Structure 1
Amino acid sequence: MKLVTYRRTVEDEARLGALAEGVVLDVERLGYGVGLELPNRMLDFIAAGPAAWEAVRRLIEEGLVGWAIDAVIPAANVTLLAPIPRPTKNVFGIGLNYVEHVEESARSLDTSIDLPKEPVIFSKPPTAVIGPNDPIRHNAALTQQLDWEVELAAIIGTTARSVSKENALDHVFGYSVMVDVSARDCRRAGQWIVSKGQDTFAPFGPVIVTADEIGDPQNLDLWLTINGEEKQRSNTKHMLFKVDHLVSDISSCMTLEPGDIIATGTPSGVGAGRDPQEFMWPGDVLECGVEKIGTLRHPVVKA
């Protein structure tokens, strides 16, 4: 399934939908049509567990005959928001998780040339999250080095506490796209949250694709352009620590709960790693995507 959070007008509440054949299917109203009580928020739906997920999957597969009329909305008539507009806790970010990015970071950002022996974990607060087409804010008083990082995001479906690598993917609900926007000149004594966690620094979406449709998360192309010029292109097979390792590692010290988000790291091609260095400025347009999931587009604006 491809799941979204959408709004029909600026006055409407955000609601949970599923994308199917050019339409958005309102999940709660789909349930009304067949006497099922289903959530209207992404976080509630994820927390409802596999029985609810399977029920919605069956309703979609039934086709138009089984859909309530008021549940079907042309996709062109809605605005997509971040799939989880307000995560319940900080996004887990993973640094230095592609070998070539480790090398370019060592050249330009004074990080170690040695490959990490365990995942490098930081966080981005919920207030950093924005949805498709929302502007990335460039605050010139804080940064002159606004950088880009395209990433695969893994969304937790069931509580994971000290899980093994072998069982870790069983706890993943689905996958999405996230941009780890970074103010390279805002690192403080080795701490990254000011660099990574400013408002609008976590573009997220446009959909969550459930894990069953993705299959192997370690064989997905990902890419990013600035003003139409390609800056990053790679494949998730080049991750140093795979998704199963990340889930297992984080869950060994912190309980992962339904709706938690792990941004799994970026490949090489970031602005700070270029010669000469390149950064984003008001008027720029960032576009990026991950295979099987979709594309994000964001203008950069003056804060």
Structure 2
Amino acid sequence: MSLIKRGTVYGTLMNFRGELEALGDKVNEPPYKGAPQAPVLYIKPANTWTENGGNIALPAGVAEVEIGATVAMVMKSAREIEGFVLMNDLSIPHDSFFRPPVKSKCLDGFLAIGDRIRARNEAGDPAVFKLEVRINGELKQTVRFSQLVRPADKLLADVSEFMTLGEGDMLMLGCDAGRPRAKVGDRIQISMPALGTLSNTLVAEDA
């Protein structure tokens, strides 16, 4: 099914066990003093969206970006999932933990979105999803969604406790630690048999 309606796109931080483990003792430092007790979300506004097959421009002075290979739930209603779609949530490498990394994540074109939604009953159990990330054809990362802190249904239930999702809204399951980096000229491919392949090329921003 092709994407027709898009609402708000939400990213989820610290929803992979490896992501939390990589933070180490930082999670216990002020002001939070512990791992998050509720989902930590951020928004990828419409200016960040790039279609499958499109070029993504890196601004001058940005040597490389982190690849955030993930899957998003596409909502049919507040609590009903229409299906799943591939995403590449790019960001400029940063060490921000205490503040939403808007300047690193919300640049123009910094969210590649797959061009097809796979219905939930066709995609299978999200807990067994596995993505492969390739740069210029070389395998760089395998993302296993069995390692989620909050599996898809739990994440949706917890988010629904404090906000209402609408038709077309998209909620990412999260990005794992060990995200590969890419530079201008690199072709990025994120693939999974049930969801196809999301492919984009990084180019230099026009002067």
Query: In the alignment, which of 184, 189, 197 is matched to residue 295 of structure 1?
Result: 197
Give TM-score scaled by structure 2 length: 0.87
Shift in alpha-carbon separation, 1:139–1:188, aligned structure 2, 3 A: farther
CA distance in 1, matches of 2:163, 2:38: 15
Q: Does 1:180 align with 2:89?
A: yes
Is this contact kept in 1: 2:69–2:143, CA < 8 A? Answer: no
CA distance in 1, matches of 2:103, 2:95: 6
Which amino acid counterpart does residue 295 of structure 1 have in structure 2? T
| Corresponding position of 2:27 | 112
Which amino acid counterpart does residue 156 of structure 1 have in structure 2? M
Q: Does 1:4 align with 2:17?
A: no
User: RMSD value over aligned CA atoms?
Assistant: 2.2
CA distance in 1, matches of 2:38, 2:75: 20
**Would you say how many aligned residue pairs link Structure 1 and Structure 2?**
200
Is this contact kept in 1: 2:64–2:184, CA < 8 A? Answer: no
Gaps of 5+ in 2: 29-33
In the TM superposition, residue 294 of structure 1 has moved relative to its aligned partner by: 0.7
In the TM superposition, residue 145 of structure 1 has moved relative to its aligned partner by: 4.3
Shift in alpha-carbon separation, 1:268–1:230, aligned structure 2, 3 A: farther
Shift in alpha-carbon separation, 1:112–1:124, aligned structure 2, 3 A: same
Which amino acid counterpart does residue 152 of structure 1 have in structure 2? V
Q: Does 1:93 align with 2:11?
A: yes
Query: In the alignment, which of 180, 183, 188 is matched to residue 286 of structure 1?
Result: 188
Shift in alpha-carbon separation, 1:188–1:234, aligned structure 2, 3 A: closer
Give TM-score scaled by structure 1 length: 0.61
Is this contact kept in 2: 1:149–1:266, CA < 8 A? Answer: yes
Matches within 5 A, 1:207-226: 207-226=116-135
Matches within 5 A, 1:129-278: 129-141=49-61, 143-160=62-79, 171-185=80-94, 190-271=99-180
In the TM superposition, residue 185 of structure 1 has moved relative to its aligned partner by: 3.8
Which amino acid counterpart does residue 257 of structure 1 have in structure 2? G
Q: SS at the partner of 2:200?
A: strand
CA distance in 1, matches of 2:192, 2:42: 22
What CA deviation, in whole Å up to 9, does each residue of 1:12-59 have, x standing for no partner?
A: xxxxxxxxxxxxxxxxxxxxxxxxxxxxxx22xxxxxxxxxxxxxxxx
What CA deviation, in whole Å up to 9, does each residue of 1:253-286 have, x standing for no partner?
A: 2110010001111223213xxxxxxx32111111
Q: SS at the partner of 1:213?
A: helix
After superposing on structure 2, the runs of 4+ consecutive aligned residues of structure 1 that deviate more than 6 Å are none
Is this contact kept in 1: 2:130–2:143, CA < 8 A? Answer: yes
Which amino acid counterpart does residue 94 of structure 1 have in structure 2? T
Is this contact kept in 2: 1:206–1:295, CA < 8 A? Answer: no
CA distance in 2, matches of 1:99, 1:115: 11
Is this contact kept in 2: 1:96–1:120, CA < 8 A? Answer: yes
Is this contact kept in 1: 2:130–2:142, CA < 8 A? Answer: yes
Structure having the larger proportion of residues in helix: 1
CA distance in 2, matches of 1:118, 1:269: 23
Q: SS at the partner of 1:225?
A: strand
**Percent of aligned positions with the same letter in both sequences?**
25
Is this contact kept in 2: 1:129–1:199, CA < 8 A? Answer: yes
Shift in alpha-carbon separation, 1:125–1:214, aligned structure 2, 3 A: same
In the TM superposition, residue 187 of structure 1 has moved relative to its aligned partner by: 5.0
Which amino acid counterpart does residue 122 of structure 1 have in structure 2? Y
What CA deviation, in whole Å up to 9, does each residue of 1:220-249 have, x standing for no partner?
A: 111211122222103211111111122112
Larger radius of gyration: 1
In the TM superposition, residue 184 of structure 1 has moved relative to its aligned partner by: 2.0
